[in-house]
C-alpha cells in the first residue's frame, strides 16, 4: 500500500511539473495577409529565431488572413485580439498620421538599408510612440520596400502627362503623387488588386516588385515604369503593448534582440532573391519597359513633391502633430 501511495504521489508531482512547464510556454498570434513572400520574410525569420533561442518556449503563430483583414490589423492589436501584426500606414492614414511622413512622394530614399535606418529612428520619436499608443501598439520593426513603380494595361504612358485620367491603384503619398499628374488614384488592399485590374476597375497598379509578383498583376500587365519612383509605403510590424510588457524578461530580450537579425535577413532576401527574379519575370511576360527622361521626372517632382509636402505639414500641424520636426528628422537623415 505504501508503494502505491508513493507512486501516486510521484505521478501527481510529475503531472504538476508538466502542467507548470506547459503553462510557462508563451504563444503569440501574428496577423499578416496574402501569403509568405519577400514582404513577410522578416516576420518569418523572427518567428524562427524566437522559437530557436527560447528552445520552443516562445513561439509566434503566423496567420495569413485568418485573424483579421489587413486594414483592421491595428484595430485587432488595440483590443488584444492578437499580439503582433503588420499593416501599412496608407491603409488608414488617420489612425497613424505620424508615420505617414515616410510615405511623402520623392523623399529620395535610395536603399532598403536607408529606409530601415530612417524608419527605426522615426519609430522612436516621442510623437510617434504616443500616436501608436492610442492603439495600445508598440512599433517593433519596419518592412522596408524599394521605390514603387507602376504596371498597367492598355496604352503605355510614354510621358508623365499621359497618366491624366488613368485610374491607378495607389495609396498614401503615391496616391497624392498620381493625383498631382491628374491621374485618378484608387485605394484598395493588395489582395483586391488583381481582380480590380482584370475587371477594368483600375488600369494601372503601383506596387513594389515583390507585390507585383505576389499578387498577380504581371499576369495581365502590358507595361512597367522603370524609373518613375514616386515613393514607397511604410508598413510596420507592431506588437500589443500589454502583451510585450507581460513577456518574461528572457523572452522580451529574445524578441527585441532578434529584430536586427530578422531585418538583415529581409534585406538580403529582397536585394538578392526578389530582385534577381524581377527582370526575368518581366521578360517572360513580354512586358514593355517605360523609362522617362530626366526632364519628365523633374517636371513630375515639381508638380508633386513640394505641394504634397507642404500640405502634409500644414494638415498634421493643425492636428497637434510636430509635423515639421518629423519631416526634418527624415529629410535630415536622407541628406546625410
On whether both 41 and 122 belong to a single domain, the answer is yes
- pLDDT tens readout for residues 104-134: 999 999 999 999 999 999 999 999 999 999 9
Please state, in angstroms and as integers, the Cα–Cα distance from residue 83 to each residue in 31, 78, 244, 335, following that order: 8, 9, 8, 36
Q: Are residues 244 and 270 in the same domain?
A: yes
The three cell numbers locating residue 22: 506547459
Mean pLDDT calculated for residue range 285-310: 94
Instruction: Show the 3-state SS of 250-312.
Output: HHHHHHHHCHHHHHHHHHHHHHHHHHHHHHHHHHHHCCEEECCCHHHHHHHHHHHHHHHHHHH
Residue 137: φ, ψ to 5°: -120, 140
| pLDDT classification of 17: cutoffs 50, 70, 90 | very low
pLDDT value at residue 335? 79
CB 326 within 8 A of CB 122: yes
pLDDT, tens digit, for every residue of 247-297? Answer: 999 999 999 999 999 999 999 999 999 999 999 999 999 999 999 999 999
For residue 93, give every residue at least 6 positions away whose Cβ sits within 8 Å of its Cβ, in sequence order, or none. 100, 172
Q: Can you give the residue range of the structural domain that contains 50?
A: 27-143+234-274
Mean pLDDT of 176-183: 93
Q: Tell me the whole-structure pTM to 2 decimals.
A: 0.87
CB 81 within 8 A of CB 110: no
Residue reference for cell 495609396: 171
Residue 141's SS3 state is strand
Q: Cα separation of 244 and 223, whole Å?
A: 45
Per the structure, the count of domains in the chain is 2
pLDDT at residue 71, as a whole number: 94
Residues 295 and 173 grouped into a single domain: yes
Same domain, 77 and 210: no
208 and 60 within one domain = no
Task: Give the HSE-up count for residue 92: Cα atoms under 13 Å, Cβ half-sphere.
Answer: 14
Q: By CB neighbour count within 10 A (0-12 exposed, 13-18 middle, 19+ buried), where does 231 fall?
A: buried
Q: Which of 72, 49, 70 is nearest to 59 (CA)?
A: 49
Residues 181 and 305 in one domain: yes
pLDDT of residue 23: 47
Q: Are residues 192 and 312 in the same domain?
A: yes
Nearest to 280 by CA among 200, 227, 328, 209: 209
Are 78 and 165 within one domain? no
DSSP character at residue 152: E
In whole numbers, what is the pLDDT of the chain averaged over residues? 92
15 part of a folded domain: no
Q: Determine the pLDDT at residue 169.
A: 96
In a domain, 9, yes or no: no
My answer on whether 105 and 249 are in the same domain is: yes
Instruction: Tell me if 325 is assigned to some domain.
Output: yes
Q: pLDDT tens digit string along 29-72?
A: 999 999 999 999 999 999 999 999 999 999 999 999 999 999 99
Predicted local distance difference test score (pLDDT) of residue 11: 46
| Number of Cβ atoms within 10 Å of the Cβ of 118 | 23
Over range 177-197, report the average pLDDT: 92
> In CATH, what number is assigned to the domain containing residue 158?
3.40.190.170
DSSP string, 34-74: S-SSGGGHHHHHHHHHHHHHTTTSEEEEEEESSS--GGGHH
Query: Are 309 and 267 found together in one domain?
Result: no
Give the single-character DSSP code of 187. -
For residues 69 and 198, membership in a common domain is answered with no
Cα dihedral: 101, 327, 315, 208 (round 10) = -20
Neighbours of 302 (CB within 10 A): 12
Distances (CA, A) of 12 to 5, 9, 23, 205: 10, 5, 16, 62
Q: Are residues 292 and 315 in the same domain?
A: yes
Q: Is the residue at 222 inside a domain?
A: yes
Q: What is the pLDDT of residue 328?
A: 98
Report whether pLDDT(101) > 50.
Answer: yes
Cell 485620367 sits on residue: 165
pLDDT value for 189: 85
Decide if 331 is inside a domain.
Answer: yes
Amino acid at each position: 500500500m505504501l508503494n502505491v501511495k508513493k507512486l501516486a504521489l510521484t505521478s501527481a508531482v510529475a503531472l504538476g511539473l508538466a502542467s507548470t512547464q506547459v503553462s510557462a510556454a508563451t504563444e503569440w498570434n501574428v496577423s499578416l495577409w496574402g501569403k509568405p513572400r519577400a514582404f513577410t520574410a522578416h516576420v518569418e525569420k523572427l518567428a524562427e529565431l524566437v522559437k530557436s533561442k527560447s528552445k520552443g518556449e516562445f513561439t509566434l503563430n503566423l496567420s495569413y488572413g485568418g485573424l483579421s483583414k489587413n486594414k483592421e490589423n491595428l484595430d485587432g492589436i488595440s483590443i488584444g485580439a492578437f499580439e503582433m501584426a503588420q499593416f501599412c500606414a496608407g491603409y488608414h492614414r488617420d489612425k497613424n498620421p505620424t508615420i505617414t511622413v515616410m510615405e511623402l512622394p520623392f523623399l529620395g530614399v535610395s536603399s532598403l538599408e536607408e529606409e530601415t535606418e530612417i524608419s527605426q529612428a522615426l519609430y522612436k520619436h516621442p510623437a510617434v510612440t504616443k500616436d501608436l499608443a492610442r492603439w495600445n501598439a508598440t512599433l517593433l520593426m519596419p518592412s522596408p520596400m524599394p521605390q514603387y513603380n507602376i504596371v498597367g494595361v492598355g496604352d503605355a504612358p510614354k510621358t508623365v502627362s499621359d497618366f491624366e485620367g488613368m485610374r491607378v491603384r495607389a495609396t498614401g503619398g503615391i496616391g497624392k503623387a498620381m493625383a498631382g499628374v491628374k491621374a485618378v488614384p484608387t485605394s484598395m488592399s493588395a489582395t483586391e488588386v488583381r481582380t480590380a485590374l482584370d475587371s477594368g476597375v483600375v488600369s494601372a497598379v503601383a506596387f513594389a516588385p515583390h507585390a507585383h509578383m505576389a499578387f498577380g498583376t504581371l499576369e495581365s500587365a502590358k507595361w512597367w515604369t522603370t524609373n518613375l519612383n514616386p515613393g514607397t509605403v511604410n508598413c510596420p510590424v507592431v506588437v500589443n503593448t500589454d502583451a510585450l510588457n507581460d513577456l518574461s524578461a528572457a523572452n522580451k530580450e529574445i524578441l527585441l534582440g532578434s529584430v536586427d537579425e530578422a531585418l538583415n535577413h529581409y534585406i538580403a532576401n529582397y536585394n538578392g532573391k526578389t530582385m534577381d527574379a524581377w527582370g526575368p519575370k518581366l521578360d517572360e511576360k513580354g512586358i514593355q519597359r517605360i523609362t522617362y527622361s530626366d526632364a519628365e521626372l523633374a517636371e513630375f517632382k515639381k508638380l508633386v513633391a513640394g505641394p504634397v509636402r507642404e500640405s502634409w505639414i500644414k494638415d498634421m500641424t493643425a492636428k497637434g502633430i510636430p509635423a515639421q520636426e518629423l519631416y526634418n528628422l527624415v529629410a535630415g537623415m536622407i541628406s546625410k
